[in-house]
Chains A and B, each alone.
Chain A
Amino acid sequence: MQKLGVDSIGIVLMISFFIGAVICIQMKVNIQSPWMPRFTTGYTTREIMLLEFSSSIMCLILAGKVGSNIASEIGTMRVTQQIDALEIMGVNSASFLILPKIMALLTMIPVLVTFSMVAGFAGAYAIAYAGILTPEDLTYGLQHSFKQWFIWMGYIKSFFFAFIISSVSAFYGYTVEGGSVEVGKASTDSVVHCSMLILFADIFLTQILS
């Protein structure tokens, strides 16, 4: 939980803060016009952060960080015979190594999603206080037509993505055969396949939950 979740808080906060800020600038520069309400920037920033970034895009980032970590760690244990050692001792190695990682990521993902949402809005406010738009307009936009379900939607999607990241990357690590080159390949493959599965799952989950 420490390694997969707590150690990811920094990168989640940093990326979410800057993406929140950038979305806010882009909306202000490219969408806002005299014909549009002034709250449009805040409204669209909120929708993007809640519906897509803090769940889906953040999990794509975590697939790179956490997924490659899981695949390479378990893969290295496989090629250095540590998994064989567990098996010889009579330990169910798959259950012993993979289950805690799945549980840890499922436990930590709501925390990471929450941090991402908060950091994204903090980034948007940083832009507002920098003078690009007024904080009052941003606040009004963030609150406009707010649906609590969108937050739950982000959490539900992220649970599915967390399961994909931990199980797929653990599978690639666990089934490595060979040496360091194969561990590297498994790590890359796990990130690619996790990302693809997250994107496909996102389409279906968005359709089902909307």
Chain B
Amino acid sequence: MIEIQSLYKSFEDKEVLKGINTTFLEGQTNLIIGQSGSGKTVLMKCIVGLFTPTSGHILYDGRDFVAMNKREKALLRREMGMIFQSAALFDSMSVLENVMFPLDMFSAMTLSERKKRAQQCLDRVNLMDAQQKYPNEISGGMQKRVAIARAIALNPKYLFCDEPNSGLDPKTSLVIDALIHDITVEYGMTTIINTHDMNSVMGIGDSIIFIKEGRQEWTGDKTQVATSDNQALTDFIFASDLLKKARQAFI
């Protein structure tokens, strides 16, 4: 479980996050949604420690990440996995080496054990055939799946996904969503997904936080989205005429 308490973040005189308070539960896919520039990426970067908050607390199962020293943060980060918007695979390594990398760095396993574990992760994302290929030899969807395999290699307690469907076709997006959701349940992780994708919201949004202009505008789950009377949320989610009609039909 990750708790965010009164989180503020400013860049010089521009305040981007204005007092976020929320809880991301274990074993659920927690979605952060909002328009571009609303502060959701800054929120995620604060949570994972790439940005230091101006004030507030981030509690990982009660452990305050903001108050930790560098060494404690490094140790906690070994419990995190992250899937970046661009997959962020290491170009100079093969798919198998990419997945083995966190194991090489932080596990006490032997080489054969590390290889076996990496292959298990690749098998989990159906990429056993691509293990000897390099990131530039595989498609965007496959790169995302390799990133998922790499993220789960160390059995993380917390999984972060920054727009995992960005640049993917709708069908592949659904595959990625389903994979992240299944893995979250299977490993009992606290998963936080930063997304624009409405299919993700309606498909895997166990818990949703809607951010507007740095403030937490709405929280709920996928079953409450369609019936919510929050105008800002409905304007954002049901932006097109087609979706507006679908919502009216649903209601």
- A interface with B by C-beta (< 8 Å): 76-77, 80-82, 84-85, 87-92
Contact sample, A vs B, 23 pairs, CB 8 Å cutoff: A76-B91, A80-B86, A81-B84, A81-B85, A81-B86, A82-B88, A82-B90, A84-B50, A84-B82, A84-B84, A84-B88, A85-B82, A85-B84, A87-B49, A87-B77, A88-B49, A88-B50, A88-B160, A89-B77, A89-B105, A90-B74, A90-B80, A90-B106
Interface membership of chain B positions 99-111, coded 1 if the CB is closer than 8 angstroms to chain A and 0 otherwise:
0011001100000
Let me know if B50 and A87 touch, CB within 8 A.
Answer: yes
- On chain A, the residues within 8 Å of B105 by CB distance are 89-91
B115: Cβ under 8 A from any A Cβ: no
- On chain A, the residues within 8 Å of B101 by CB distance are 89
User: B residues 58-104 with Cβ under 8 Å of A?
Assistant: 73-78, 80-82, 84-86, 88-91, 101-102
Q: How far is the CA of A77 from the CA of B135 in the complex (A)?
A: 13
Q: How far is the CA of A77 from the CA of B81 in the complex (A)?
A: 18
Let me know if A88 and B74 touch, CB within 8 A.
Answer: no
Closest 6 CB pairs of A and B: A90-B77, A81-B88, A85-B88, A90-B74, A88-B82, A81-B84
- On chain B, the residues within 8 Å of A92 by CB distance are 74
- Describe B's contact surface by its main secondary structure: mixed
Q: How far is the CA of A81 from the CA of B84 in the complex (A)?
A: 7
CB distance from B49 to the nearest CB of A (A): 8
Q: How far is the CA of A81 from the CA of B50 in the complex (A)?
A: 11
CB distance from B85 to the nearest CB of A (A): 7
- B interface with A by C-beta (< 8 Å): 48-50, 73-78, 80-82, 84-86, 88-91, 101-102, 105-106, 160
Closest partner residue, chain A, to B73 (CB atom): A90
Q: How far is the CA of A180 from the CA of B88 in the complex (A)?
A: 15
Q: How far is the CA of A85 from the CA of B162 in the complex (A)?
A: 12
Q: How far is the CA of A85 from the CA of B91 in the complex (A)?
A: 13
Name the residue in A82, A88, A91 with the highest tally of chain B Cβ atoms < 10 Å from its Cβ: A88
Contacts A80-B86, A81-B84, A82-B88 given; does A89 touch B78 at CB 8 Å: yes
Contacts A82-B90, A84-B50 given; does A89 touch B102 at CB 8 Å: yes
CB distance from A128 to the nearest CB of B (A): 45
- On chain A, the residues within 8 Å of B74 by CB distance are 90, 92
Q: How far is the CA of A110 from the CA of B84 in the complex (A)?
A: 41
CB distance from A88 to the nearest CB of B (A): 4
Let me know if B75 and A90 touch, CB within 8 A.
Answer: yes
Closest partner residue, chain B, to A85 (CB atom): B88
Let me know if B48 and A88 touch, CB within 8 A.
Answer: yes
- On chain A, the residues within 8 Å of B49 by CB distance are 87-88
Name the residue in A76, A82, A84, A89 with the highest tally of chain B Cβ atoms < 10 Å from its Cβ: A89
- On chain B, the residues within 8 Å of A88 by CB distance are 48-50, 77, 80-82, 160
Contacts A82-B90, A84-B50 given; does A90 touch B84 at CB 8 Å: no
CB distance from B203 to the nearest CB of A (A): 25
Closest partner residue, chain A, to B150 (CB atom): A85
Q: How far is the CA of A81 from the CA of B166 in the complex (A)?
A: 15
- On chain B, the residues within 8 Å of A80 by CB distance are 86, 88, 91
Closest partner residue, chain B, to A3 (CB atom): B92
CB distance from B44 to the nearest CB of A (A): 11
Q: How far is the CA of A85 from the CA of B150 in the complex (A)?
A: 10
Q: How far is the CA of A76 from the CA of B88 in the complex (A)?
A: 11
Closest partner residue, chain B, to A92 (CB atom): B74
Q: How far is the CA of A80 from the CA of B86 in the complex (A)?
A: 7
Closest partner residue, chain A, to B71 (CB atom): A90
Supply 6 further A-B pairs (C-beta < 8 A) apart from A88-B81, A89-B80: A81-B85, A84-B82, A85-B90, A88-B80, A89-B77, A90-B73
Closest partner residue, chain A, to B162 (CB atom): A81
Closest partner residue, chain A, to B82 (CB atom): A88
CB distance from B222 to the nearest CB of A (A): 27
- On chain A, the residues within 8 Å of B90 by CB distance are 82, 85
Q: How far is the CA of A90 from the CA of B74 in the complex (A)?
A: 4
Closest partner residue, chain B, to A96 (CB atom): B105
Q: How far is the CA of A134 from the CA of B20 in the complex (A)?
A: 83
Q: How far is the CA of A92 from the CA of B160 in the complex (A)?
A: 20
CB distance from B72 to the nearest CB of A (A): 11
CB distance from B2 to the nearest CB of A (A): 14
